Amino acid sequence: MTLRARVLCRVVDNFGDAGVCWRFVRQLAREHGWRVRLTIDRPELLERLGAHPEREAGPGSIAVERWPGTDRDDVDVLVSAFGAEPPPALRASLAGAPRRPLWVQLEYLSAEDWVGTHHGLASVKPHDGAVEHFYYPGYDAHTGGLLRERELFARRDAFVGSREQREWLARWGIDAAAGDERIATLFCYPHAPLAECFAALATGDRRWRMLVPQSVADEALHAHFGTTPAPGQRLRDGALVVQRIPFLPQDDYDRLLWSADLNFVRGEDSWVRAQWAARPFVWQPYRQEGDTHRVKLQAFLRRIRAPQEADAAMYAWSGYGHWRPAWRALETRLDAFGERCRDWAATLGAQDDLCTRFVEFCIRRL
C-alpha cells in the first residue's frame, strides 16, 4: 500500500533528531514506497548527513520543507517526531478527525520495561477530540523496534576486511594492517570524563588512535594538548594519537563504526548505529534532570548483559564512577565484549525493524 506521510521534526540535540528523522523517512520511501514530506526547522543539517532527497512525484519520493511548512493535511499519516507539536493551522485540522490523517507521536528510544506497555496506546485530546497514537522504539516484540535498513548487515559484512575498507581507511591515513594500533571513535557530550580518558590512553601499554569529528571535544582537546586540532591534523601524547576528521555523512559514519575497535557514542542515533556495528562501544545517554539518564543506562545494561567491565565503564563515562580504573579493566576485556556485541546485534537483527513495524502499525489503524 502506497501511503503519504508527513514527518515533523524540531531539532533539539544538534544532529541527533535530524539524523533519526532522515533515516526514518529515507527507509519509508526507499523500502516501503511511501511518499514522504519532512518538515524540519533546520533543513541545512540534512546536507551534512549526506541527504539527497528525491523530489520527483510518485512512490518512494521524499520532499523536504522548512518549518512550519504548508498547512495542508493531504497525507495519510502525520508523524510528530520527538514531541514536535504541529504548527497551529495543521494542528487545528486534526480536531475531531475520524480517521485520517493518522496522527502518530514517534517517541525517543529507551530500554526501560514500561516502553512495551505504553507502545501503541492512543489518547484523545479532551479540548478538540484529536487522537494521537504513541509509537515507542524499543528492544523487544512489544515495542516499535529499532531503525535498521534491510541490507545493513550485508553491507557491513561485505565492507569489513575488504579492499574497499582498506582504501576507505587509507583516505584518513590509517593502515588497516597495522596490528599494533587500535582505533577508537569519539562522539560524546562535553561532560564526559575526557581529561581522564586522554590521560589513561596516553599512559597505557597499548597504542590507540582516536578519531574525533569536527566540533566534538574541542575544549577537552585544547586543555590536554594545548591546541585544538584542525581537520586532518594529528596530535600525539605517549601511546595516544588524536586525529581530527570531518563530520561524516551517515553512510560514511556507519563505515567508521564498522572499522573501529571501540566506539564512544551518545544520544540515540549513534548509539543504535554502534549496536548494529557489532563492535565494542561505550554509550553516553543524554543528561536529564533527576538522574533519569542513569535509569535509562541501567535499563539498557540489564538487556545487553555485557561483561561487568563494560557496565562499569559506561557508568563511569556518565559520571557514576572513576574512569581510569574502569577503562583499565575494560581494555583487558574488549575481545570478550566484542563477542557479546556481535551476539547482541544478531539477536536484535532477527527482529523486524522499526519501519517495517511502523508500516504495519499504521495500516492496521487506517
Cα–Cα distance between 122 and 103 in angstroms, integer?
A: 10
The 8-class DSSP code of residue 344 comes to H
Bridge-based pairing state of the strands 262-266 and 281-284: parallel
Catalytic position from the list 17, 76, 112, 254: 17
Q: How far apart are CA 83 and CA 157, in angstroms?
A: 36
Is 268 an annotated catalytic residue?
yes
User: Catalytic pick from 107, 149, 254, 268?
Assistant: 268
pLDDT tens, residue order, the chain (366 aa)? 789 999 999 987 667 899 999 999 999 999 999 999 999 999 888 888 888 776 555 667 799 999 999 887 789 999 999 999 999 888 888 887 666 799 999 999 999 999 999 999 999 988 888 999 999 999 999 999 999 999 999 999 999 999 999 999 998 888 766 678 999 999 999 999 999 999 999 999 999 999 999 999 999 999 999 999 998 899 999 999 999 999 899 999 999 999 999 999 999 999 999 999 999 999 999 998 888 999 999 999 999 999 999 999 999 999 999 999 999 999 999 999 999 999 999 999 999 999 999 999 999 999
Question: Does a cis peptide bond (omega within 30 degrees of 0) precede residue 68?
Answer: yes
Look at residue 27 and give its three-state secondary structure. Answer: helix
| Angle made by CA atoms 354, 355, 357, in degrees to the nearest 5 | 65
Burial class (CB in 10 A: 0-12, 13-18, 19+), 67: middle
The conformational region for residue 79 under phi > 0 = left, psi -120 to 50 = alpha, else beta, is beta
Whose cell is 559506561? That residue is 314
Contacts for 94-100: CB closer than 8 Å, 24+ residues apart: 94/128, 94/130, 94/131, 95/125, 95/128, 95/129, 95/130, 96/128, 96/129, 96/130, 97/130, 97/131, 99/366, 100/76, 100/366
